[in-house]
């Protein structure tokens, strides 16, 4: 799985950790948004560049049952 890291001020590096845990860089980007778009592409996601945003921890948590539209909840 590809990820990005802030490798130095103003530079985000896209890459992955190999099975030995060593960082394997793939590309460098001048913004977090561009790095995130590259990560999405490399990981096979069809996320348009304009819809990428940072998700806070609260947004990742489920707040209870949700109606899935077919009479059931999850």
**What count of residues does the chain have?**
74
Q: What is the pTM of this model?
A: 0.61
56 within domain boundaries: no
Rounded to the nearest 10 degrees, how much is the dihedral formed by the CA atoms of 34, 8, 57, 47?
10
Judged by DSSP in three states, 49 sits in: helix
**In a domain? residue 15:** yes
Range of the domain at 45: 3-51
Whether 40 is in a domain gets the answer yes
Convert the pLDDT of each residue in 36-72 to its tens digit: 999 999 999 865 554 455 544 444 444 445 555 555 4
Kindly report, residue by residue over 21-39, the tens digit of the pLDDT.
999 999 999 999 999 999 9
Q: Extract the runs of DSSP E, i.e. beta strands, from 1-74.
A: 3-8, 11-17, 23-29
Q: Is residue 61 part of a domain?
A: no
Q: How many domains does the chain have?
A: 1
Query: Can you tell me the distance from the alpha carbon of 34 to that of 2, in angstroms, rounded to the nearest whole number?
Result: 14
Quote the tokens at residue 5.
């890291």
Assigned domain for 27 exists: yes
Would residue 34 count as lying in a domain? yes
């Amino acid at each position: 799985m590809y990820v990005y890291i802030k490798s130095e001020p103003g530079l985000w590096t896209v890459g992955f950790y190999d099975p030995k845990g060593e960082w394997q860089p793939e590309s460098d980007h001048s913004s977090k948004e561009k790095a995130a778009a590259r990560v999405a592409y490399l990981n096979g996601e069809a996320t348009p560049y304009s819809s990428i945003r940072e998700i806070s921890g609260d947004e990742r948590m489920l707040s209870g049952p949700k109606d899935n539209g077919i009479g059931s909840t999850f």
